């Protein structure tokens, strides 16, 4: 039992006036609430104290059930699982069609479905909507017992779909079937008015709606959300779209239609029937108006389908329907002359046919009166010309054709000559058709109608022959969705191939499929489809991805169907399984299985759509479904307890060699851009890779060190040029920045004061890169001069912000203060820009060298380089920045030109190329000789022709006695701060190189960042480590190095009850112990055990589990998101607990199905409550916590009007200083198993932590009694901890035992009784009949250890677990392990002697039987007898 703030039993509002279901709805004294609606008025905790009083409760509903949800008695039993099934009483749930109703009613497999019963908002006594759920409905005597009275049914027997059992994950479906391949006829369900009024006192049987559940009576207010679980079944030869949902105005097609575009194979031939051509069933011309004529070879198209399209386009979908579809039985009608034609004749005899020619019957010939052409082929007319045939008759097996009188005396036709039949003179590309279906009137000779000849293989076309893909599309309010089937792209490409990811030219096709850019074919698997209508806008999502922010630079999630600017209409017809009213030319019936349909009469939020979609996906095992788990998303609906970073991939990534396929041409050689693979990289979309992280691997360094490997470097792609496959990506990582929050330890909070003083050695910032210190940073606006340079010597995380320890005013820059106003407003003056290095000296335009302080801490630099680059960034308008290739990188050094003797105060040095003594300044420190051991001297003045004045033996070094000519002299420090300066030369190989483009002033703050350019082509004439210089790149779908970067500490164990007593909405929690410097994994010590990242758990009363994580809660903690302020405190927080379920146990696959929970008995539900929620900060005070929506005026802030910053702006990479880590605390069960999962459900969405703890070995603290007779059979009590649950100790599958162990004995307790996790009862066996090495002959005792073996985990032997057998006879000291009769005799003699001694020592109580007793005992002990 938890304390007074254990999980509360709150309730939904169920009686009284109509509720608005907002978080502000009040609990009244008349409200019926709680499980089974048995409570009214105030809510009490279990210890009798008030939790909520009337007038203060928040009773908003989730779309999912919670702890206090009510289930109407007629709701199918499998839909009554709290936390994981939808709330059937949610006020906005209008219709819920589920297969459980057929199971409830015992519907047989294959039965026709006359009506699909609705289980949404079944009326019951106390239903909140008293206007729709009148008392007469509650009695069960009315025509409808639902809030909405409409019925989804099919009165016509021939149009009824069927119910089929066990189709998907053990669930049945409603199966709809087309009646023909054109979709002209079929099965469907339609919504009917069951009644004429809400109380359903008068029946009605007309199609349409009684209630305005679409909110479309005023079209601009249209709002609804629909969920469908569907799989379509396109068969071979099926054509035209398949209508899934038709929601339109009565008698019209205007409104909303959801349909599947049919998969189509690429045509072997297509054209247009036109001009004088006739289309006559079953014979047609294939004459075309195009320049590409059909084949002249007979039989070329035999067996193909001919699809003839209507001349008009559907006004709503933009689809041109197939008006007629037939099979080509014979292409080109051909026969053979039997008798030569040499005179003027009126009949022609052909071989065979018995009156028919090429499958055209005699009757058809008489009707069509075709033309006859003589010749070797159809392209050349005979000299006699084409003649009309007026009749045909059989002459035995042959065929006699009647023609007009024709003279063949001049131009004979020999026997065996081919003849061709055509429908008009001069055209003989004729096809004989069969199996024709017509969806509209037959086109006339004057009508221009297109056709295609295709293989009848769709939906499974041959490789590379897809003409159109099977996918989901829609229309809404007069606006058509894009060509989601990509017919345009596939036609342009000459065919597509989804198996090879060939979707036509460019990437215009995949962009039509939403953010996933993946073909979502409902023929290939079950799909969860979400439809959301809101006014003029309509979105259709497939398998989730309703929201999120995977790519931080472009956060918007694009659904596969996204319609805006539509003209909504008043809706009154709702159908499933077709596109338009039955009998329409474009009815487009579907062949499909529909498992479940849910309809809400409002536009749901992203989180609500995730929750219902997740329920459907887990129920039907739709593995492709994705909820919003993105940590950057403002609409995240799931707990995320893993390290932040890349979430599930929405975009397609790849890895390849740099410049792969370019053969060295057009290959990037710099560090600001990388050329990707010519074949694998996107070839069209400019924003496709934006925001991804590109990492370099592979590519070895040159043996001579002139080329260094770029491996290990990475950068964020900021732009992409698809034509050249070039990703703009700065490997130097220059320009990364954040904002300063304040200096020192505390936030000033005083208007007019400075947040950062000029001497503050610590600066708190929003974010800092994960670079190895030391590194550098510039403080201030980049376009304002000067900027202060600081050297960062340490960077640690405190709470959710970074604390930097810095050296201020580095170089010649001046320390500057930052005002409170600038840091609060995050003005540019408060910006901090990070850099690997800085420039300590002025540099003029055209300079070809300059000095930097460090190159990323490197100490060994190549003398010459070919792939090292530096990016210089100054200040001022622009600000000035440029990228330079480095020819040489080396320390500034000279050589002694004269011997330097002991005591010399002047040093003569020789200028090196470009290294002049003029570069040296008074005060510089120089090292003579070895860089680590040589003498350090200070330059005391300017160098002249006479030499450089020096002060010897600086920094604790010893003055050298004699230093020879040629010894190196190296600059190591300037102005007391610069160490290891590096001298850079701009490339001299470029003859027109003019040096620096800009002038830079060191006092203004100059930054420098370096990178090695990746190699994209083989380098000849050089050897490389690993054999190759060519680099490889890897793309990640999001940037794990970008903010927010924080890592979760998902679990903390707390001993005792005290934490549960903190307010559920308080600012409590253990945040003061929380750090992120070690991955934010923090644990407390338990039972004296040391803290660790994976601690062991001990059970027992009072052990509390604390689940903490920055992303452990969804973002919509106010449930309905309809209030200006979403402050979560007191009752509201506790209301949200109603939808939190935490369980411990093995969560198997079968447990995922929310309707099959009986198999999940191993899971134990924990008692939990919310301790802390994520809090933002107030705009006027970084340290002031607020619990309101981001950007909203919040009562927590000053005056109740300050703005709360509760999260990052959507689509940005800005981090934010959340001031408290969300926390949930739960009471643990007494024991835990090692294979137990920790399962967190928020509104039914599951987050699983496996292997989250290691169970502790059992421990024995005492044995009582500690001494027992050697004959055993006594019961002792074993006390300790971590003995495990009872089911591991009892039953045939028990894995636990208690063992007695000594040097001569190992035995198990004869019986074990599990009392608790801390107490066991053991029935002790007798001392083993064997020599006991541990025998104390004087005390007559043997001491053993009691070892608790809990399923393989054993207690450690200590003095506390010792148990002593007493009264042990002396013969237990005799060797009893005998191998032969001599051994047995020896054993017997020893045993008998010891036995007799013991007997007489105790007074020979057995008297005359003493010897017989000892003989019998020793015979048994020594194994002589059993």
Q: Given pLDDT bands bounded at 50, 70 and 90, which one contains residue 1231? A: low
The mean per-residue pLDDT over the stretch 665-676 comes to 77
Per-residue model confidence as pLDDT tens digits over 341-350: 988 899 999 9
Residue of higher predicted confidence among 1134 and 611: 611
Q: How many angstroms separate the CA atoms of 1348 and 1371, rounded? A: 30
Q: How many angstroms separate the CA atoms of 194 and 152, rounded? A: 9
Is pLDDT above 50 for 242? yes
Q: How many angstroms separate the CA atoms of 1083 and 1093, rounded? A: 7
Q: How many angstroms separate the CA atoms of 1288 and 793, rounded? A: 55
Q: What is the mean pLDDT of the chain?
A: 81
The CA-based angle 988-990-994, given to 5 degrees, is 80
Structure tokens at 331: 């292409």
Give me the pLDDT at residue 41, please: 57
188 class by beta-carbon count within 10 Å (0-12 exposed, 13-18 middle, 19+ buried): buried
Give me the pLDDT at residue 114, please: 97
Q: Given pLDDT bands bounded at 50, 70 and 90, which one contains residue 445? A: very low
Structure tokens at 1387: 């054993």
The mean per-residue pLDDT over the stretch 460-468 comes to 86
Q: How many angstroms separate the CA atoms of 256 and 235, rounded? A: 25
Strand partners, 265: 466
Residue of higher predicted confidence among 222 and 67: 222
The mean per-residue pLDDT over the stretch 410-417 comes to 89
Is pLDDT above 80 for 878? no
Per-residue model confidence as pLDDT tens digits over 1192-1204: 788 778 777 788 7
Q: How many angstroms separate the CA atoms of 698 and 712, rounded? A: 9
Give me the pLDDT at residue 1128, please: 53
Q: According to the per-residue pLDDT averaged within each range, which of 91-105, 1072-1086, 1251-1265, 1373-1387 is highest?
A: 91-105
Q: Among 183, 291, 848, 974, which Cα is nearest to 579's?
A: 183
Q: How many angstroms separate the CA atoms of 339 and 1010, rounded? A: 93
The mean per-residue pLDDT over the stretch 151-173 comes to 96
Peptide bond before 1419: cis, by omega within 30 degrees of 0? no
Peptide bond before 1044: cis, by omega within 30 degrees of 0? yes
Q: Given pLDDT bands bounded at 50, 70 and 90, which one contains residue 216? A: very high
Lowest-confidence segment of 166-170, 483-487, 1018-1022, 1083-1087 by average pLDDT: 1083-1087
Q: How many angstroms separate the CA atoms of 222 and 213, rounded? A: 9
Lowest-confidence segment of 32-46, 551-565, 1072-1086, 1402-1416 by average pLDDT: 1072-1086
Q: What are phi and psi of 1136, to 5 degrees?
A: -65, -30
The mean per-residue pLDDT over the stretch 879-889 comes to 81
Strand partners, 398: 395
Q: What are phi and psi of 616, to 5 degrees?
A: -65, -40
Give me the pLDDT at residue 1072, please: 34
Q: Given pLDDT bands bounded at 50, 70 and 90, which one contains residue 984? A: low
Give me the pLDDT at residue 326, please: 86
Asked if 798 contacts 764 with a C-beta cutoff of 8 angstroms, the reply is yes
Residue of higher predicted confidence among 35 and 1056: 35
Q: Given pLDDT bands bounded at 50, 70 and 90, which one contains residue 1161? A: low
Structure tokens at 473: 């599309």
Is pLDDT above 70 for 646? no
Strand partners, 1344: 1363
Query: pTM (2 decimals)?
Result: 0.81
Is pLDDT above 70 for 1058? no
Give me the pLDDT at residue 18, please: 31
Q: Given pLDDT bands bounded at 50, 70 and 90, which one contains residue 1124? A: very low
Q: Among 215, 98, 85, 223, which Cα is nearest to 168's?
A: 98
Q: According to the per-residue pLDDT averaged within each range, which of 767-781, 976-990, 1096-1110 is highest?
A: 767-781
Per-residue model confidence as pLDDT tens digits over 1304-1344: 999 999 999 999 888 999 999 999 989 999 999 999 999 99
Is pLDDT above 60 for 366? yes
Residue of higher predicted confidence among 134 and 1355: 1355
Give me the pLDDT at residue 1276, please: 96
Q: Among 1135, 1165, 1286, which Cα is nearest to 1226's?
A: 1165
Q: How many angstroms separate the CA atoms of 621 and 199, rounded? A: 39
Residue 1162's CB: how many other CB atoms inside 10 A? Answer: 17
Asked if 1226 contacts 1107 with a C-beta cutoff of 8 angstroms, the reply is yes
Q: How many angstroms separate the CA atoms of 905 and 926, rounded? A: 14
What is the DSSP code string of 333-346?
A: EEEEBSS-B-SEEE
Residue of higher predicted confidence among 1260 and 1174: 1260
Is pLDDT above 70 for 494? yes
Q: Given pLDDT bands bounded at 50, 70 and 90, which one contains residue 1045? A: very low
Q: How many angstroms separate the CA atoms of 1392 and 1415, rounded? A: 6
Per-residue model confidence as pLDDT tens digits over 18-62: 333 334 455 556 655 555 555 565 555 444 444 444 544 446 688
% the chain with pLDDT above 70: 80
Q: Given pLDDT bands bounded at 50, 70 and 90, which one contains residue 1213? A: very low
Asked if 1395 contacts 1414 with a C-beta cutoff of 8 angstroms, the reply is yes
**CA-based diameter of the chain, in Å?**
152
Give me the pLDDT at residue 139, please: 67
The mean per-residue pLDDT over the stretch 194-215 comes to 90
Q: Given pLDDT bands bounded at 50, 70 and 90, which one contains residue 427? A: confident
Determine which helix (DSSP H) or strand (DSSP E) holds 1032, and give its type and residue range. strand 1032-1036
List of residues 6+ apart from 1136 with CB closer than 8 A: 1117, 1118, 1119, 1128, 1170
Asked if 269 contacts 414 with a C-beta cutoff of 8 angstroms, the reply is no
Structure tokens at 601: 């009469």
Determine which helix (DSSP H) or strand (DSSP E) holds 1393, and give its type and residue range. helix 1381-1401
Residue of higher predicted confidence among 444 and 398: 398
Give me the pLDDT at residue 857, please: 52
Is pLDDT above 60 for 1089? no
Q: How many angstroms separate the CA atoms of 191 and 210, rounded? A: 10
Give me the pLDDT at residue 1038, please: 67
Q: Given pLDDT bands bounded at 50, 70 and 90, which one contains residue 1256? A: confident
Give me the pLDDT at residue 570, please: 95
Q: How far is CA 1192 from CA 317, 824, 990, 1127, 1202, in A?
A: 42, 16, 58, 10, 8
Give me the pLDDT at residue 598, please: 98
Q: Among 99, 100, 95, which Cα is nearest to 122's?
A: 95
Structure tokens at 1301: 């162990």
* DSSP strand pairing (1311-1316 vs 466-468): unpaired
Q: Among 620, 625, 637, which Cα is nearest to 1155's?
A: 620
Asked if 346 contacts 403 with a C-beta cutoff of 8 angstroms, the reply is yes
Peptide bond before 1265: cis, by omega within 30 degrees of 0? yes
Angle formed by the axes of helices 1381-1401 and 1410-1421, nearest 10° = 140
Q: Among 619, 575, 580, 578, which Cα is nearest to 596's?
A: 619
Q: How many angstroms separate the CA atoms of 98 and 619, rounded? A: 11
Q: How far is CA 404 from CA 257, 352, 353, 384, 1333, in A?
A: 57, 22, 21, 12, 128
Per-residue model confidence as pLDDT tens digits over 600-609: 999 998 999 9
Structure tokens at 96: 């819920």
Q: Given pLDDT bands bounded at 50, 70 and 90, which one contains residue 665? A: low
Give me the pLDDT at residue 102, please: 96
The mean per-residue pLDDT over the stretch 73-77 comes to 91
Q: Given pLDDT bands bounded at 50, 70 and 90, which one contains residue 1137? A: confident
Q: How many residues does the chain have?
A: 1426
The mean per-residue pLDDT over the stretch 664-682 comes to 79
């Amino acid at each position: 039992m938890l304390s007074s703030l254990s999980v509360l039993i709150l309730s939904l509002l169920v009686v009284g006036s109509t509720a608005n279901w907002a978080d502000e709805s009040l609990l009244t004294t008349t409200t019926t609430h709680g499980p089974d609606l048995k409570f009214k008025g105030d809510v009490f905790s279990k210890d009798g104290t008030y939790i909520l009083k009337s007038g203060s409760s928040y009773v908003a509903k989730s779309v999912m059930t919670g702890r206090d949800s009510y289930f109407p008695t007629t709701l199918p039993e499998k839909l009554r699982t709290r936390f994981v099934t939808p709330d059937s009483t949610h006020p906005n749930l209008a219709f819920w069609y589920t297969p459980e109703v057929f199971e409830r009613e015992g519907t047989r497999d294959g039965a026709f479905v006359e009506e699909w019963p609705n289980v949404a908002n079944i009326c019951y006594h106390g239903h909140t909507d008293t206007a729709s759920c009148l008392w007469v409905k509650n009695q069960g005597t009315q025509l409808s017992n639902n809030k909405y009275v409409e019925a989804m049914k099919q009165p016509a027997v021939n149009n009824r779909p069927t119910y089929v059992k066990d189709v998907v994950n053990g669930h049945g479906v409603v199966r709809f079937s087309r009646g023909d391949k054109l979709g002209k006829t079929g099965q469907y369900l339609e919504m009917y008015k069951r009644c004429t009024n809400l109380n359903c006192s008068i029946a009605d049987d007309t199609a349409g709606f009684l209630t305005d559940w679409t909110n479309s009576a005023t079209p601009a207010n249209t709002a609804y959300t629909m969920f469908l679980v569907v799989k379509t079944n396109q068969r071979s030869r099926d054509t035209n779209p398949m209508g899934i949902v038709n929601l339109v105005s009565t008698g019209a097609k205007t409104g909303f239609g959801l349909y599947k575009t049919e998969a189509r194979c690429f045509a072997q031939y297509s054209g247009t029937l036109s001009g004088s051509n006739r289309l006559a069933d079953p014979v047609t011309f294939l004459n075309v108006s195009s320049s590409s004529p059909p084949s002249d070879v007979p039989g070329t198209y035999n067996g193909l389908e001919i699809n003839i399209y209507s001349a008009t386009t559907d006004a709503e979908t933009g689809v041109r329907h197939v008006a007629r579809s037939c099979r080509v039985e014979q292409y080109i009608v051909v026969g053979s002359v039997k008798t030569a034609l040499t005179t003027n004749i009126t009949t022609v005899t052909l071989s065979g046919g018995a009156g028919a020619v090429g499958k055209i019957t005699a009757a058809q010939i008489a009707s069509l009166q075709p033309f006859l052409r003589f010749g070797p082929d159809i392209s050349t007319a005979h000299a006699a010309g084409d003649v009309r045939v007026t009749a045909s008759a059989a002459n035995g097996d042959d065929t006699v054709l009647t023609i007009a009188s024709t003279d063949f005396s001049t131009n004979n036709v020999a026997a065996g000559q081919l003849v061709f039949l055509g429908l008009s003179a001069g055209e003989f590309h004729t096809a004989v058709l069969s199996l024709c279906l017509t969806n509209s009137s037959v086109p006339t000779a004057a009508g221009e109608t297109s056709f295609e000849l295709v293989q009848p293989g769709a939906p499974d076309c041959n490789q590379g022959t897809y003409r159109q893909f099977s996918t989901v599309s829609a229309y809404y309010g007069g606006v058509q969705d894009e060509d989601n089937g990509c017919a345009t792209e596939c036609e342009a490409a000459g065919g597509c191939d989804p198996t090879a990811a060939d979707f036509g030219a460019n990437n215009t096709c995949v962009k039509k499929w939403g953010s996933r850019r993946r073909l979502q074919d409902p023929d290939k698997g079950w799909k969860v489809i979400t439809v959301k209508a809101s006014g003029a806008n309509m979105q259709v999502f497939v398998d989730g991805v309703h929201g999120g922010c995977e790519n931080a630079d472009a956060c918007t999630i694009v659904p596969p169907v996204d319609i805006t600017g539509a003209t909504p209409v008043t809706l009154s017809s709702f159908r499933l399984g077709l596109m338009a009213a039955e009998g329409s030319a474009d009815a487009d019936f579907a062949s499909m299985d529909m498992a479940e349909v849910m309809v809400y009469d409002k536009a749901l939020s992203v989180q609500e759509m995730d929750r219902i979609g997740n329920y459907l996906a887990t129920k039907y095992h739709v593995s492709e479904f994705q909820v919003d788990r993105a940590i950057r998303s403002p609409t995240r609906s799931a707990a995320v307890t893993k390290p932040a970073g890349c979430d599930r991939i929405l975009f397609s990534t790849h890895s390849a060699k740099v410049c792969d396929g370019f053969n060295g041409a057009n290959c990037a050689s710099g560090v600001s851009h990388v050329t990707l693979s010519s074949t694998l990289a996107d070839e069209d979309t400019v924003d496709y890779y934006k925001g991804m992280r590109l990492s370099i691997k592979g590519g070895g360094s040159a043996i001579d060190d002139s080329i260094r490997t770029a491996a290990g470097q990475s950068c964020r792609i900021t732009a992409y040029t698809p034509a050249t496959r070039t990703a703009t990506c700065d490997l130097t990582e220059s320009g990364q920045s954040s904002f300063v929050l304040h200096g020192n330890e505390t936030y000033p909070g005083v208007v007019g004061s400075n947040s950062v003083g000029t001497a503050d050695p610590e600066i708190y910032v929003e974010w800092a890169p994960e670079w190895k210190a030391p590194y550098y940073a510039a403080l201030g606006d980049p376009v304002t001069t000067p900027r202060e340079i600081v050297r960062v010597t340490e960077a640690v995380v405190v709470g959710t912000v970074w604390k930097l320890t810095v050296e201020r005013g580095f170089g010649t820059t001046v320390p500057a203060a930052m005002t409170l106003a600038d840091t609060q407003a995050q003005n540019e003056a408060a910006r901090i820009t990070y850099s690997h290095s800085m420039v300590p000296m002025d540099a003029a335009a055209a300079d070809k060298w300059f000095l930097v302080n460090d190159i990323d801490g490197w100490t060994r630099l190549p003398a010459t380089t070919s792939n090292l680059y530096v990016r210089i960034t100054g200040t001022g308008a622009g600000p000035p920045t440029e990228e330079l290739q480095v020819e040489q990188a080396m320390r500034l050094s000279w050589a002694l030109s004269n011997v330097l003797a002991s005591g010399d105060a002047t040093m003569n040095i020789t200028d090196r190329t470009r290294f002049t003594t003029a570069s040296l300044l008074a005060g510089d420190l120089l090292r003579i000789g070895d860089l680590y051991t040589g003498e350090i001297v200070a330059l005391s003045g300017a160098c002249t022709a006479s030499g450089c004045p020096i002060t010897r033996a600086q920094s604790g070094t010893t003055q050298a006695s004699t230093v020879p000519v040629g010894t190196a002299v190296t600059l190591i420090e300037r102005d007391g701060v610069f160490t290891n300066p590096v001298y850079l030369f701009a490339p001299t190989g470029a003859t027109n190189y003019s040096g620096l483009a800009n002038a830079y002033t060191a006092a203004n703050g100059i930054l420098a960042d370096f990178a090695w350019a990746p190699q994209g082509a083989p380098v000849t004439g050089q050897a490389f480590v690993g054999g190759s210089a060519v680099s490889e790149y890897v793309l990640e779908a999001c940037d794990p190095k970008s903010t927010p970067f924080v890592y979760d500490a998902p679990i903390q164990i707390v001993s005792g009850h005290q934490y549960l007593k903190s307010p559920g909405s308080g600012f409590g929690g253990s945040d003061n112990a929380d750090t992120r410097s070690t991955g934010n994994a923090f644990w407390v010590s338990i039972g004296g055990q040391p803290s660790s990242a994976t601690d062991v758990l001990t059970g027992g009363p009072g052990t509390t589990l604390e689940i903490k994580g920055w992303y452990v809660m969804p973002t919509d903690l106010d449930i309905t998101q309809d209030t200006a302020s979403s402050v979560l405190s007191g009752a509201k927080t506790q209301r949200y607990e109603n939808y939190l379920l935490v369980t411990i146990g093995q969560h198997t696959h079968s447990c995922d199905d929310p309707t099959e929970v009986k198999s999940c008995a191993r899971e134990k539900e924990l008692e939990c409550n919310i301790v802390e929620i994520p809090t933002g900060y107030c705009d006027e005070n970084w340290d002031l916590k607020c619990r309101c929506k981001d950007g909203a005026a919040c009562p927590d802030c000053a005056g109740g009007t300050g703005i709360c910053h509760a999260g990052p702006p959507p689509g940005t990479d800005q981090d934010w200083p959340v001031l408290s880590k969300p926390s949930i605390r739960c009471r643990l069960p007494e024991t835990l198993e090692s294979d137990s999962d920790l399962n967190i459900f928020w509104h039914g969405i599951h987050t699983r932590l496996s292997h989250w703890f290691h169970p502790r070995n059992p421990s024995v603290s005492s044995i009582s009694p500690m001494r027992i007779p050697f004959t055993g059979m006594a019961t002792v009590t074993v006390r300790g901890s971590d003995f495990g649950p009872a089911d591991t100790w009892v039953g045939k599958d028990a894995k636990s035992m208690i063992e007695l162990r000594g040097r001569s004995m190992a035995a198990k307790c004869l019986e074990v009784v599990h009392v608790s996790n801390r107490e066991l009862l053991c029935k002790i066996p007798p001392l083993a009949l064997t020599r006991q090495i541990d025998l104390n002959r004087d005390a007559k005792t043997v001491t053993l250890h009691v070892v608790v073996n809990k399923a393989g985990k054993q207690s450690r032997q200590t003095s506390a677990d010792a148990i002593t057998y007493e009264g042990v006879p002396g013969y237990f000291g005799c060797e009893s392990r005998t191998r032969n009769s001599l051994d047995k005799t020896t054993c017997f003699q020893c045993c008998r002697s010891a036995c007799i001694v013991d007997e007489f020592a105790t007074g020979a109580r057995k008297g005359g039987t003493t010897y017989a007793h000892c003989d019998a005992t020793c015979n048994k002990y020594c194994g002589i007898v059993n």
